[in-house]
Structure 1
Amino acid sequence: MGSLAASLDAFSPLGYPPARRDDSVIDYYHGVRIADPYRWLEDPEATEVKEFVEKQVALTNSVLEKCEERDKLRRRITALLDHPRYDTPFKRGGNYFYFHNSGLQAQNILYVQKDLDKEVEVLMDPNKLSDDGTVALTLSSVSKDGKYLAYGLSRSGSDWVTIKVMRVEDKQPEPDTLSWVKFSSISWTKDEKGFFYCRYPAPKKGHELDAGTETNINLNHEVYYHFLGTDQSMDILCWTDPEHQKYIYGTYVTDDGKYALLYIEEGCDPSNKLYYCNLSMLPHGLEGLEWRNEMLPFDKLVDNFTARYIYVSNDHTKFTFLTNKGAPRYKLARVDLNEPELWTDVLPEDDKDVLESAYAVNNNQVLVSYLSDVKYILQIRDLETGVLLHWLPVDIGTVYGISGRREDSDVFIGFTSFLTPGIIYKCNLATEVPEMKIFQEASVPGFYCKDFEVKQVFVSSKDETRIPMFIVFKKNIELNGSHPCLLYGYGGFNISLTPSFSVTRLVLTSNLGFIFCIANIRGGGEYGEEWHKAGSLSKKQNCFDDFIAAAEFLVSNGYTNPKRLCIEGRSNGGLLVAACMNQRPDLFGCALAHVGVMDMLRFHKFTIGHAWTSDFGCSEKEEEFNWLIKYSPLHNVKRPWEQSGSPLQYPSTMLLTADHDDRVVPAHSLKLLATMQYVLCTSITNSPQTNSIIARIECKAGHGAGRPTKKMIDEAADRYGFAAKVMGLTWTD
């Protein structure tokens, strides 16, 4: 197997820029000595860090210039992506709103129309706010009666958002500007006087940084109410908890406008506290809180973190929630606020399938979606009893963007799959037998789904757990082990990877002969909370075992071989890729790790990293440190030839990060990059490591959200052009 580890990397030997090692930086974790020689790379504003980044960018550019297929990839992806795309429309105050991109526009545009057969008008076009498309509309909320649009703008991919307001009727801006907003929704009160939102305290004078480049930990999230037409300094502080600085809040005004719900989260675990306030019972309204200098008087419905609760609907004091309380695959439960201890099941937990979502629609019905072996099922049920009324047939794929309210008989449902660019269905629930009619369908000129095949297999992991995996390939291929293969994974935070359409992946399949695979490893939400827990905390190694098992399946069943197996993941998936190439460098020919969490001992010290301890644990606790140190990518880079005695080496590697990633700060990737280049390449004469280890560091970009179309195309061309080069692939028309 060792001889297969070397890729066809044609860039070697690369002259890696020297990076200063500070051997004096030593930490002791529960008596264990841990060196951190590249701690200085954690300061993005330091001149030395900027110089390091500049040299790495220059090195990567010199490598990419030699990737012959890169320009072909860029041209083909650009051509196929140039087709109209629509998001699911939603209705407010008699108007319909939806996002649309004509093809290659940097950002999606928000449109409004008075009726579905009336003229469409542009409501908000973020493309006019910057020359390079790096200002994104990442948050939006239309008031209950459709009179106002409150929207959040993000710059350069940062999680920081600035909220502004516009009148829908005449498209005129209001003077409102709200800053330092992060991890927030916008929830209007029924009277349209204003809305709830969440923010962090503004930095002290002289401490402001370019929003998105700071690394300071995010503490003291706060809930505010903003009155239209007033300065942010006049906003009412509705909730904060100085004794729990790491809590994160969310607010929602119920559909009847009577209650404000407060969601309190401790981390990323699917659990929350749930408080409520009867707005109609405030003696002087929200205005009264300002002059009384009081916070909103919330009552505690759930005051622990034992389960997750998501509002579905309410009739006066009777509330229906989607919850995993005593139901790891979720259920619908009801409670009367007058009897908060008495909960009853409306729709019990299914024996096998996961209840993904529930929407109250058409007066007294609920539209529910289930995930069954990573495939979606749609049903209409009675909101009161949970009784099944109708099945809504959908193909194998992903249901997304459901929109509809209790006063609406029409609902819109978005659907996509590996071979379906996007369909929006309109369904009239008032008819005796509801029918899914195509309302809008995307079409990609030059793409023919009949040329491809999709299959789902189940792989046995190290402990014999069955792991589902989707495989997409050209029809009639011979399974002779010669094909390039792209294996993608995530495995964390209860997030499910379901089928979706990707122009880029189909270009790889069509023109470079790739087989594309998604492994639904443990840690995700594909089979509910038990599946999630089986890949988190002390059981995180299961994620890596599952992914490695999927890779071995692809090799042993003739889909590919290690030299032509490329692994890819983003964020927690970047951690997955890095950990797996540490543990099995012989199994992969190329590794693409995007914005990964690489330093598992210090991640909780930066921005919102403290919220991830619910999935990872924290090095400050001895037991959890012992979990983390075993797989932390930064701390497990080893010379594989010294372990095996053969000229084994790491796969050709590209680490991807961005200068405005304030979710997973760039230091994670930079420190791993410096460590890999030093340990594997520059610290030893005539190192067997000839496969390239480089980083693609994007400017004016963040963790991924809000990235303009051109940047997405360029990045795809770069990373897959690199993969094609190192795996010896050539273009076919």
Structure 2
Amino acid sequence: MPRRPAACPSTASSSVVSALPSTDPAAPSAGTSAASQQQQHWPYPAARRDDSIVDTLHGQRIADPYRWLETANSTETKAFVEAENKVAMDYLKQDSRQAAYKQTISQLQSYDVVRYIRKKPNYYFISYSATGVNGLSDIYRQQTLNGKQELFIDKNTLSKNGTLFVGAFEHSLSGKFLAYSTGLSPQDTTIRVVCAEDVEDLCKDKGHTTDVVRGGTSFSITWTHDERGFFYVKSAKPSDKQASSDANAGPGNALYYHRVGTQQSQDQLILSSEIAGRIATIDISSDGKWLMVNLDKKGAISVWAASIDEGGKGVPQKPSFRKLADTGEGSYSYIGTHGGRFYFTVSEGIPQSKVVAYDTNAPNDGFVDVLTVKDGQRISSAYVIARNHILVQYFQGSVSTLAVYKMGTDSHVRDIKLPPGMVNFILTQQQERRKINHSSSRCM
């Protein structure tokens, strides 16, 4: 049956309290009369008093006769705690309301949570799981947020009995393909492709293509905008040949391009981590023209980019990478591209998080600060929205705030008010004016 997350448990005291059994100590439990409860005796364990323990503080003698209880692992303290627990459990067991308490609390804490949501031109793709449950869930699709749901991927077909690790799910730009990875570990997965519509000579709706890509890492599936194929990362082998002219040595992994409908043996080696270290992240620019790569060499991060736009001809055989920056220990996360400028958030390894930009038309200028934060704030994430705006999420303490800035001029447009709490993730789409919030501490 299609699933939809239940409404969050109401915080209104009337609805919660009315669902619980009476907690009035004067009210007898079912099957136990008030008279019999008054006659019952619950002997509390005697605690040894040691009057020899006396401290002198500021000239005053302070007795501490039960200090021996501070030695939690002593035989005497353990025996006293066990005796206390026995009294408590004996009392609780005779109270018939306990089963009702447990059932009510379990019901209040059990509801479906959205774990995964993506919007594509024809469908929303959504996955739910019960609170407290991690791991893979079924994926559903629906044409509108409130529309009828249909099962798109049955989790049992991906990993029977939960024996396989299930890694990335990545939709192509239009949503007609979904690539996903499964394996025995995050560093050794197999990537497969399922169709969300009939694709001539490849697959039927909800059917798999013939693509099987082995050895990929769990995070690394990135589609090109033309939907002809995707980039992925796998552990480097001695036989992998260098695809770049830069020859700095370094162990790690390798970046490949796989074209849908072809054999893995035909995949292009795009970049070997021998040039500068382990491939940490890969992104396609929001205009689809650039491949962005973060490389990690012994903790030092460098940012690279290569043009993959050849006038509709597909990914070039040997993309030419340019190093945008050596960032040291900073973590650069790509946001989007506007007017030849790459936007990134920088959130680790520096005193304050910020948004920076790199102008491909003025490469000698390097990264330029676009937005810095006030003391006590931290930029958690940023997204391109409505084609030419940036939505920035701030953390201050345990509270999330959102603000919108205009790309190009980098001017502040407005703040978005949120109820108190912390936003877990935000779904945005650059071409649309809609955002979807998901909160870990409140319903939205």
The answer, yes or no, to whether TM exceeds 0.5 is: yes
1:562-581 counterparts in 2 under 5 A?
Answer: none
Task: Kindly indicate whether the alpha-carbon contact (under 8 Å) linking 2:404 and 2:415 is maintained by their aligned counterparts in 1.
Answer: yes
Matched, 1:249 2:315: no
Classify the secondary structure of the residue corresponding to 1:233.
Answer: helix
Q: Deviations over 1:350-385 (max 9, x none)?
A: 233111111111122221111112322222222333
Q: Deviations over 1:577-621 (max 9, x none)?
A: xxxxxxxxxxxxxxxxxxxxxxxxxxxxxxxxxxxxxxxxxxxxx
Matched, 1:369 2:400: no
Which residue number in structure 2 is paired with residue 236 of structure 1? 268
Q: Provide the rounded CA distance (Å) in 1 between the counterparts of 2:144 and 2:374.
A: 39
**TM-score normalised by structure 2 residue count:** 0.67
Task: Kindly indicate whether the alpha-carbon contact (under 8 Å) linking 1:367 and 1:381 is maintained by their aligned counterparts in 2.
Answer: yes
Which residue number in structure 2 is paired with residue 453 of structure 1? none
CA displacement at 1:266 relative to structure 2: 2.9
User: Which of the residues 67, 70, 73 maps onto 1:4?
Assistant: 70
Which residue number in structure 1 is paired with residue 31 of structure 2? none
Cα separation, partners in 2 of 1:76 and 1:180, compared to 1, 3 Å: farther
CA displacement at 1:406 relative to structure 2: 2.1
Task: Kindly indicate whether the alpha-carbon contact (under 8 Å) linking 1:93 and 1:147 is maintained by their aligned counterparts in 2.
Answer: no
1:281-680 counterparts in 2 under 5 A?
Answer: 281=310, 285-286=314-315, 289=317, 295-305=318-328, 307-323=330-346, 328-342=351-365, 343-417=367-441, 420=442, 423=443, 438=444
Q: Which amino acid aligns with 1:6?
A: A
User: Which of the residues 220, 227, 249 maps onto 2:252?
Assistant: 220
Give 5+ residue unaligned stretches, structure 2: 1-66, 79-88, 93-98, 198-204, 240-249
Cα separation, partners in 2 of 1:127 and 1:80, compared to 1, 3 Å: farther
Cα separation, partners in 2 of 1:105 and 1:357, compared to 1, 3 Å: closer
Task: Kindly indicate whether the alpha-carbon contact (under 8 Å) linking 1:88 and 1:413 is maintained by their aligned counterparts in 2.
Answer: no
Task: Kindly indicate whether the alpha-carbon contact (under 8 Å) linking 2:120 and 2:173 is maintained by their aligned counterparts in 1.
Answer: yes
Task: Kindly indicate whether the alpha-carbon contact (under 8 Å) linking 2:308 and 2:319 is maintained by their aligned counterparts in 1.
Answer: no
Q: Which amino acid aligns with 1:341?
A: N
Task: Kindly indicate whether the alpha-carbon contact (under 8 Å) linking 1:264 and 1:274 is maintained by their aligned counterparts in 2.
Answer: yes
Which residue number in structure 2 is paired with residue 89 of structure 1? 117
Task: Kindly indicate whether the alpha-carbon contact (under 8 Å) linking 2:220 and 2:282 is maintained by their aligned counterparts in 1.
Answer: yes
Task: Kindly indicate whether the alpha-carbon contact (under 8 Å) linking 2:387 and 2:432 is maintained by their aligned counterparts in 1.
Answer: yes
Task: Kindly indicate whether the alpha-carbon contact (under 8 Å) linking 2:400 and 2:421 is maintained by their aligned counterparts in 1.
Answer: yes
CA displacement at 1:228 relative to structure 2: 0.7
Task: Kindly indicate whether the alpha-carbon contact (under 8 Å) linking 2:251 and 2:274 is maintained by their aligned counterparts in 1.
Answer: no
Cα separation, partners in 2 of 1:415 and 1:8, compared to 1, 3 Å: farther
Which residue number in structure 1 is paired with residue 25 of structure 2? none
Q: Provide the rounded CA distance (Å) in 2 between the counterparts of 1:145 and 1:345.
A: 33
Q: Provide the rounded CA distance (Å) in 2 between the counterparts of 1:185 and 1:305.
A: 23
Classify the secondary structure of the residue corresponding to 1:191.
Answer: coil
Q: Provide the rounded CA distance (Å) in 1 between the counterparts of 2:353 and 2:135.
A: 38
Identity between Structure 1 and Structure 2 (%): 25
Q: Provide the rounded CA distance (Å) in 2 between the counterparts of 1:124 and 1:308.
A: 34
Matched, 1:174 2:238: no
Q: Provide the rounded CA distance (Å) in 2 between the counterparts of 1:175 and 1:404.
A: 31
CA displacement at 1:193 relative to structure 2: 0.7
Q: Provide the rounded CA distance (Å) in 2 between the counterparts of 1:362 and 1:112.
A: 24
Q: Provide the rounded CA distance (Å) in 2 between the counterparts of 1:310 and 1:5.
A: 49
Q: Which amino acid aligns with 1:199?
A: K
Q: Provide the rounded CA distance (Å) in 2 between the counterparts of 1:9 and 1:410.
A: 62
Give 1 or 2: higher strand fraction. Answer: 2
Name which structure has the greater RCO, CA cutoff 8 Å, separation 6+. 1
Q: Provide the rounded CA distance (Å) in 2 between the counterparts of 1:203 and 1:326.
A: 33
CA displacement at 1:188 relative to structure 2: 0.5
CA displacement at 1:7 relative to structure 2: 3.8
CA displacement at 1:94 relative to structure 2: 3.3
Which residue number in structure 1 is paired with residue 176 of structure 2? 147
Which residue number in structure 2 is paired with residue 650 of structure 1? none
Task: Kindly indicate whether the alpha-carbon contact (under 8 Å) linking 1:183 and 1:199 is maintained by their aligned counterparts in 2.
Answer: no
Q: Deviations over 1:319-348 (max 9, x none)?
A: 222125995221112221121232433222
Cα separation, partners in 2 of 1:93 and 1:272, compared to 1, 3 Å: farther
Q: Which amino acid aligns with 1:272?
A: I
Q: Provide the rounded CA distance (Å) in 2 between the counterparts of 1:308 and 1:106.
A: 27
Cα separation, partners in 2 of 1:253 and 1:236, compared to 1, 3 Å: same
Task: Kindly indicate whether the alpha-carbon contact (under 8 Å) linking 1:221 and 1:247 is maintained by their aligned counterparts in 2.
Answer: yes
Classify the secondary structure of the residue corresponding to 1:273.
Answer: strand
Q: Which amino acid aligns with 1:387?
A: S
Q: Provide the rounded CA distance (Å) in 1 between the counterparts of 2:319 and 2:379.
A: 33
1:720-731 counterparts in 2 under 5 A?
Answer: none
Cα separation, partners in 2 of 1:312 and 1:158, compared to 1, 3 Å: closer
Task: Kindly indicate whether the alpha-carbon contact (under 8 Å) linking 2:186 and 2:217 is maintained by their aligned counterparts in 1.
Answer: no
CA displacement at 1:237 relative to structure 2: 0.8
Q: Which amino acid aligns with 2:252?
A: N
Classify the secondary structure of the residue corresponding to 2:309.
Answer: helix
CA displacement at 1:300 relative to structure 2: 1.4
CA displacement at 1:120 relative to structure 2: 1.4
| Count of residues in Structure 1 that have an aligned counterpart in Structure 2 | 341
CA displacement at 1:393 relative to structure 2: 2.4
CA displacement at 1:80 relative to structure 2: 5.5
Q: Which amino acid aligns with 2:261?
A: G
User: Which of the residues 129, 136, 141 maps onto 1:101?
Assistant: 129
Q: Deviations over 1:533-565 (max 9, x none)?
A: xxxxxxxxxxxxxxxxxxxxxxxxxxxxxxxxx
1:15-54 counterparts in 2 under 5 A?
Answer: none
Cα separation, partners in 2 of 1:176 and 1:5, compared to 1, 3 Å: farther
Task: Kindly indicate whether the alpha-carbon contact (under 8 Å) linking 1:91 and 1:97 is maintained by their aligned counterparts in 2.
Answer: yes
Cα separation, partners in 2 of 1:238 and 1:115, compared to 1, 3 Å: same
Classify the secondary structure of the residue corresponding to 2:274.
Answer: coil
Q: Which amino acid aligns with 1:318?
A: R
Which residue number in structure 2 is paired with residue 133 of structure 1? 162
CA displacement at 1:88 relative to structure 2: 5.7
CA displacement at 1:219 relative to structure 2: 4.9
Give 5+ residue unaligned stretches, structure 1: 13-66, 205-217, 290-294, 424-437, 439-733
Task: Kindly indicate whether the alpha-carbon contact (under 8 Å) linking 2:307 and 2:319 is maintained by their aligned counterparts in 1.
Answer: no
Which residue number in structure 1 is paired with residue 14 of structure 2? none
Q: Which amino acid aligns with 1:93?
A: P
Give 1 or 2: higher helix fraction. Answer: 1
Report the more deviating stretch, 146-155 or 191-200: 146-155
Cα separation, partners in 2 of 1:233 and 1:75, compared to 1, 3 Å: farther
Q: Deviations over 1:414-437 (max 9, x none)?
A: 1122xx4xx3xxxxxxxxxxxxxx
1:149-164 counterparts in 2 under 5 A?
Answer: 149-155=178-184, 159-164=187-192
Q: Provide the rounded CA distance (Å) in 1 between the counterparts of 2:129 and 2:180.
A: 18
